[in-house]
Copies of this chain bind each other. A is one copy, B any other.
């Protein structure tokens, strides 16, 4: 973003809260974007002054028009440019001359249409930099601010949303129109609503950070088709969540490779692998949603109700079947059915009919009217074993739907615990739902969505309150040594480090590399083995021999000096037989790791997210099930533990089915050291420790093989 803002003044202020707006390139033709934008600002009661700029018209919708923005006699805070892409450059130049500090470029025809468009986009960026202009777009729907003292609908959306506490940021303009329509029907209001298009200047990250400090915004929703600055995004989201305590919900499309390629042809962007995006968002504490509906289902829970302090829900229903469905959904989302206190039981017994089910889910029976709902809900929320109420209603013949809705709102307002509702059906329950929506009780058509929203709200509370310790910084590492080895390999034109150099890099970060050395004679091999301890593994040191096992160039469990010397000779002889022209540098001798389970640690450097660390259990678990977890380095200890537990096969290391409990503390430390290594050494492009042998508790683990791919950073 052009850092043109004066001290203490956000560059977004002229865009979100202008006192005067010029619409540059508007026309008199209703039903076209250039007219609709001007007309939307006018009809939706903008509280400042609006100036149409049109090359030909004397007035637009009765408002005096100007030929050039420079002709406007008053200062202009914000210009909305709606000219065709070829003219935008000129308009931008004149905005600069006029002293405009904020611009929204609606026009399409830039980066998204190919090289010529990219060139045009660069030109307007240059002009913006020259004049200190901040701009949104190009190729966007526009910006909406519902604050009553601004009330700006600088967009070609069909409708202006009502005021609310949700901020919505979207990479897709078309999706915005669908979202506004959806939200209108559900009576959901917004604080700010931004379609940011190609984000040539102001980015999604800038916008998110500005909503962090926006008192009107309590919850931030984002629709993204790419994450080109993943690491910066993650940093920003962490700040929003931990400093401002505001939840960030992201719908990221392009999950599948076909979807990503459709997104690429649509936005001209390249996608990071979805599993990395997923890991990064989780690490940031972002709530990732798969559909627009899920995003709003979660958002209304977060925006309207207190966050639940725990997972124990009371389900209150007037019908058994839906109670069962809700129980299933709650358990599926790892919620718990609250066990009521004796006191609550007594109240239920006294106040509900004998046929009512007074255990959770509480069935107040089909003929329940508002009084029964009041008693059940109130006593449940009063109970200290209950963290929230899920209230279900089916429209039966005696159900006084609207009265129950109003009573639910009254009871909910009296407690600092959340209440969510599902009034099942549609037409008959519509008026009841409207009552709930007006009074900010989240309503869900499906019990599943209700339970998921409760779980996400609880997750967010946990995330927000979590004290993340920074990633460990071990002082006993030798960064210079590691960098030296990596730089030397790069200087020598290698892409992969030699196996022994790879081990030395790990050793410099005190990863538990097994004692090893390259011997250049049988005698040296025997001596080395005696030093590092028996038994040893031996393999030829040669880049040319790729399938070392197949040619007899590997010997395992060699356990005396004599045997080592003999093995040395055998290995060289075998290589000579199978690959006489291979260049051989000696034989690599390494202590055997001993009994343990194998795990794999890996690193890849992602263009968007930086160093991504992978953890998985060795062998088939990774190969067949792809049972692995990712995090972005540097990784705090909590997330090291999180990634280990995320792997489904992890219980194999922790004593499942009578197996030995392995030294998982040692694995944690390895992952922490690895995270530090790849942050310190940007030369590392890829790194695999495969396998790391994990011995039993207290016995540590051992790196037996490693591979490091390097490139000049």
Binding site for B on A (CB under 8 A): 31-33, 36, 108, 113, 156, 158-159, 170-175, 177-182, 184-186, 223, 225, 253-259, 262-263, 265-267, 290-293, 318-325, 327-328, 330-332, 337, 355, 357, 359, 361, 363, 366, 394-398, 424-429, 445-446, 448, 620, 623-625, 648-649, 651-652, 656-657
Contacts and interface: CB of A to CB of B under 8 A. Distances in A.
Interface centre among A32, A36, A158, A177 (most CB of B within 10 A): A177
Q: Which of A292, A366, A397 has the most CB of B within 10 A?
A: A397
Given A293-B446, A325-B253, A649-B625, A265 B397 contact: no
B429 A181 contact: yes
Shortest 6 CB-CB distances between A and B: which pairs?
A174-B319, A172-B321, A181-B425, A185-B426, A178-B424, A266-B320
Given A291-B446, A624-B649, A624-B651, A426 B262 contact: no
A321 B266 contact: yes
Contacts of A355: 108, 113
20 contacts: A31-B398, A33-B397, A108-B355, A172-B322, A173-B319, A175-B319, A177-B395, A177-B396, A178-B425, A181-B424, A181-B425, A181-B429, A185-B425, A186-B426, A255-B328, A255-B332, A256-B328, A258-B337, A262-B327, A292-B446
Nearest to A263: B324
Given A36-B397, A113-B355, A254-B328, 13 more contacts: A158-B397, A172-B319, A174-B366, A175-B424, A178-B425, A181-B424, A182-B425, A186-B426, A258-B330, A259-B325, A259-B327, A290-B448, A291-B448
B181 A426 contact: yes
B395 A265 contact: no
Contacts of A175: 319, 321-322, 394, 424
Contact of A656 (B171, B253, B624): B624
Nearest to A274: B328
Contacts of A262: 320, 323-324, 327, 361
A429 B159 CA distance: 13
A181 B428 contact: yes
A22 B324 CA distance: 34
A2 B408 CA distance: 46
Contact of A363 (B173, B225, B266): B266
B395 A320 contact: no
Contacts of A366: 173-174
Contacts of A185: 425-427
Nearest to A36: B397
A321 to B, nearest CB: 3
Given A184-B427, A425-B182, A331 B256 contact: yes
A424 B175 CA distance: 8
Contacts of A292: 446
B171 A258 contact: no
A625 B625 contact: yes
A652 B620 contact: yes
B394 A427 contact: no
B225 A321 contact: yes
A323 B266 contact: yes
Given A397-B31, A648-B624, A649-B625, A254 B174 contact: no
A178 B394 contact: yes
A674 to B, nearest CB: 25
A325 B262 CA distance: 9
A253 B397 contact: no
A136 to B, nearest CB: 17
Most buried by B among A33, A266, A429: A266
B648 A267 contact: no
A657 B623 contact: yes
Given A113-B355, A293-B446, A427-B184, A259 B324 contact: yes
B258 A172 contact: no
A158 B396 CA distance: 7
A503 B145 CA distance: 77
A328 B253 contact: yes
A596 to B, nearest CB: 15
A108 B359 CA distance: 20
Contacts of A322: 172, 174-175, 178
A177 to B, nearest CB: 5
Contact of A396 (B174, B225, B327, B424): B174
A600 to B, nearest CB: 14
Contacts of A32: 397-398
A293 B445 contact: yes
B320 A172 contact: yes
A319 B177 CA distance: 10
A443 to B, nearest CB: 14
B320 A174 contact: yes
A225 B448 CA distance: 17
A186 B427 CA distance: 10
A292 B113 CA distance: 43
Contacts of A363: 266
Nearest to A393: B178
Nearest to A293: B446
A318 B173 CA distance: 11
Contact of A256 (B108, B170, B327, B427): B327
A181 B396 CA distance: 11
Contacts of A337: 258
Contact of A395 (B158, B223, B256, B656): B158
Nearest to A424: B178
A321 B223 contact: yes
A339 to B, nearest CB: 12
Contacts of A427: 181, 184-185
A156 B397 contact: yes
Contacts of A328: 253-256, 258-259
B31 A327 contact: no
Given A178-B425, A652-B620, A332 B397 contact: no
Contact of A174 (B171, B293, B321, B652): B321
A229 to B, nearest CB: 20
Nearest to A626: B648
A561 B702 CA distance: 43
